[in-house]
Structure 1
Amino acid sequence: MFNKFYNIFVHKLDATFVDHKFNLHVRRSISSLKVEWMKDSKLDRAIEKDKRYKLCARVLKEVLNEPGQVIPLRFLEKRRERMRLNVRITTFLNQNPGMFDVYFDRIKRKSEPVRFLRVSDRLRNFLEEEQRIYRENEPLIVTKLCKLLMMSKNKVISADKLLHVKREFGFPNDFLVNLIPKYLQYFRLIGCPGEGKSFLELVSWDPEFAKSVIEQRAEGETKLTGIRVLPNFIVKLPPGFFLKQEMREWTRDWIELGYISPYEDVSHLDQASREMEKRTIGVFHELLSLSLYKRIPVPILGKFCDEYRFSNAFSSAFTRHSGIFYMSLKGGIKTAVLREAYKNDELIDRDPLLEIKGKFVELLEEGWRQRAEELRLQGEQSKKDMENLAKACV
């Protein structure tokens, strides 16, 4: 598969340089190489269509994090900006019925009753389903955690940083408290998360986990064809994309470099070398492959510069390697997307943990259908009322 895309890519380069002798010894400064960003509407659409789901998930998270999982409606209203909610809470509840129940209670013993929110029975059933899916996929979650630690510089990552990215990789909210103690053969938790410096450390190395998606793909193709396939990236430039001459030269030279696994020790490599660039792209590829949606906001990746040896200008790599990644600007947030993971705006291979999203979307769509039916009935009733009024006036 790689050879197919590689040959297509090289053919595009050779079409322009039929008589040009490529010099493999050219060494250009990576920081000086500029690639023009080009919009990809299909991949932008993949991000945009999750917008409503993610908004509902943020509101749900806000309520579930409250003591007793209940909150006064007016308190939630004050947090709209933090949740990036551009409508009033009452409007949101009307637009998304079935998520919460509204009831009256007192904030203090002698205060006047006010409206509170609590999760509905329908939503409570979803939360039980969510726990079932987490239990069934526990080995996958452990594997992801091990891989994140094995790629890191010292095999240790801030626990607070891991908590910050739990949604990106599909980790349950309580994974540090309830999951880690069950796998002490792999992990050691140092300190208390949320209370000063706390770290998750890898205590044993499993060679089976130290194979990247690219290496696993090459092994699979080798077994299938009986011909040894070397691990490397799938490079496929988007339609209409154009690289300037010096970038084509550098890219072809870079592709010819041997693949460097993100799990290899690269402490001996120069940060500015092409080899380090190859390894860094390998880390980005593996991180995006491990993520739920095969895409991660760039600011989140930036939190791990020290752990994964990213340079301060790491984000330019996503446009420099536009045949591997796409840098979306949708929603005013830079998001790194793995091109090979998508066909148009749909994921090709879905992470098993995405079943949670599927169940949540089912719940939301049931509520949306309910609201649409209520509006339809209201419209019909209004039409009948107007007709009856017209008859009465005759």
Structure 2
Amino acid sequence: MILSKISKHPCLLPTRIHTNRQETHFPGIPYGPFNSFIQKRWKKPANTAQTRLESRTTDSKLDKLTTHLKKLKTILKIYDLMSNRKRGAFVSLQLMSRWRNIVGLNVAMGEFVHKYPHVFDVFTHPVRRNLCCRISGKFKGLVTEEEGVVKDCELGCVKRVKMLLLMSKAGRLHIHALRLIRRELGLPEDFRESILGKYVDDFRLVDLEIVELVDKDENLGVAEVEKWRQKEYKEKWLSEFETKFAFPINFPAGFKIQRGFREKLKNWQMLPYLKPYEGNEVVRVGTCGGKERFEKRAVAMIHELLSLTVEKMVEVERLAHFRKNFGMEVNVRELLLKHPGIFYISTKGSTHTVILREAYSKGCLIEQNPIYVVRRKMLDLVFLGCRNTRQLQAEEEIKKGSDSLIRTANAGSTRVGEWVVPILESFDNMNDHDDPGELSDASEDEFDGCYETGGSKCDG
């Protein structure tokens, strides 16, 4: 009692009193050069998927490609928002600033729009004198061309969906999973009606959210890696034992090969596994080599899924929707990091995107398809950025001419609607690709008399 009162006294300094004599307490001595005799325990560095992702060998060309693809997706989101507007094909920058969180931009909307003059047309409204924006005519033409190419490749879309269903356990997939990778597979936006509902002999809808394969075509059960193995066996005269279960390996530049890595890779290449289209049997992990065979089958499933896509890439998070149906009960991100010669994970653009390394060379797809060609044209506009090409110079002359025409009309006693028609006529003479649309009086809310860029190819 006396000790507790003394310790609580406000005039006394707070001191520690040892009631137990056998207990010894040493004061805390900081670690330094003069007391290095004190042993300090260092923490073992963590070896997780995140640390391996940060310490991996990066590919600058593929990272640059995913960065521009992220910008292209943002532009397409803005295009969809503009297309859904009923008041016209142009939007004021003040209204577009509200879309910043919707499209996921880290910069101001006006700054983003001015970075890509080949995609966005920024102009001053003739009546309200505020800045407005609309999609350029060339980008509109490419979007229309992509829709036409996707429609022409309808049979290819049916084949890709059937092959995905063949890889699943019960021949079923959720429509939501297909919708997540709709653009990667090259499917139309209304694929549920135009593909699944149209080909009733091949697909059947179960509970309106699950699609089931009706007719199993055995001719489709050949994976892309099997075609590569057959080509390697014939051209390089390799033994069948070496190429029967092998995968193409392409390491990035600067990849460090540690001791024993080549031997492990050689043994893994010759390890037999159950191929994607061979059957739906489950490999037991507890058997001899069962875990390695199970992981190799999962690698083959992801490899085949990426081979079926248009651009040979998919976001890693969207692969999780196919784990149960494909029988891949593994950590997908860790599995991809184990095989840097087959897959590459790009962390650019605030998302993790897995890319099939063998399909790309110097940032371009080796075996191109019509859908990829059109999307590459869109990406070329994004690559141009603010480069002043001949087309932009011609558009600047049109702008100056229209502004002088507006000033002349405002200076005189001409009516408001008389100077609008010659502006549109000058635009039609410069560009026959774009449709200026119908024009009402300038005093009305809907004004569609703003210019559009030409549809010719940009001269770099």
Aligned partner (choices 297, 301, 304) of residue 279 of structure 1: 297
Cα distance 1:103–1:161, how it changes in 2: closer, same or farther (>3 A)? farther
1:314 CA displacement = 1.7
User: Is 2:211 the partner of 1:200?
Assistant: yes
Deviates more, 1:241-250 or 1:160-169: 241-250
2:100 aligns with one of 67, 75, 80: 80
- Where does residue 139 of structure 1 map in the other structure? 155
Q: Deviations over 1:176-227 (max 9, x none)?
A: 11122222121112344xxxxx112111111122111011223345566788
For the Cα contact (< 8 Å) 2:273–2:294, is it kept in 1?
no
C-alpha deviations, 1:62-118, integer Å up to 9, x for none? 3445679969656653231231234444555555457678999xxxxxxx9x99987
Q: 1:41 aligns with which of 52, 55, 60?
A: 60
Q: Which residue of 2 aligns with 1:8?
A: none
- Equivalent residue runs for 1:369-380 within 5 Å: 369=389, 372-373=392-393
Q: What's 2:309 paired with?
A: 291
Q: Within 5 Å, which residues of 2 pair with 1:87-236?
A: 87-96=107-116, 125-192=141-208, 198-221=209-232, 230=244, 232-236=246-250
Count of residue correspondences: 336
Larger radius of gyration between Structure 1 and Structure 2:
2
2:353 maps to 335
Q: Give SS of 1:232's match.
A: coil
Change (3 A) 1:373 1:206: same
Structure 1 pair 358–70 and aligned structure 2 pair: CA distance change class (3 A): same
**CA 1:239–1:226 in 2, change beyond 3 Å: closer, same or farther?**
closer
Structure 1 gap ranges (5+):
1-30, 105-111, 193-197, 382-394
**Aligned-partner SS, 2:345:** strand
Write the letter of the residue equivalent to 2:168: S
- Residues 219, 184 of structure 1: alpha-carbon distance in 2 compared, 3 angstrom cutoff: farther
Q: Is contact 1:69–1:118 with CA below 8 Å preserved after alignment?
A: no
Q: How far apart are 1:130 and its partner, in Å? A: 2.5
The aligned counterpart of 1:52 is: 71
Residues 251 and 340, structure 2, Cα contact 8 Å, conserved in 1: yes
TM-score between the two structures when normalised by the length of structure 1: 0.71
Q: How does 1:66-77 map to 2 (within 5 A)?
A: 76-77=96-97
> In the alignment, what sits opposite 1:21?
none
> Match for residue 414 of structure 2?
none
Higher relative contact order (CA 8 A, sep 6+): 1
Question: Could you state the TM-score of these two structures normalised by the residue count of structure 2?
Answer: 0.62
Letter in 1 for 2:342: I
- Aligned counterparts of 1:310 and 1:62: Cα–Cα separation in 2: 37
Deviation at 1:302, TM superposition (A): 2.0
Q: CA deviation at 1:161?
A: 1.9
- The one-letter amino acid of 1:37's match is R
Is 299-308 or 352-361 further displaced after alignment?
Answer: 352-361
Distance 1:79 1:286, change over 3 A: same
Q: Give the whole-Å Cα distance in 1 for the aligned partners of 2:88 and 2:329.
A: 41
Output the CA distance in 2 between the equivalents of 1:374 and 1:338: 41
Larger deviation: 124-133 or 86-95?
86-95
Task: Decide whether aligned partners of structure 1 residues 366 and 236 sit closer, same or farther in structure 2, where only a CA change above 3 A counts.
Answer: closer
Partner of 1:354: 372
2:113 and 2:315 map into 1 onto residues whose CA distance is: 28
RMSD: 3.9
- Post-superposition CA distance 1:333-364 (Å, at most 9, x none): 22212111111222211233213314545777
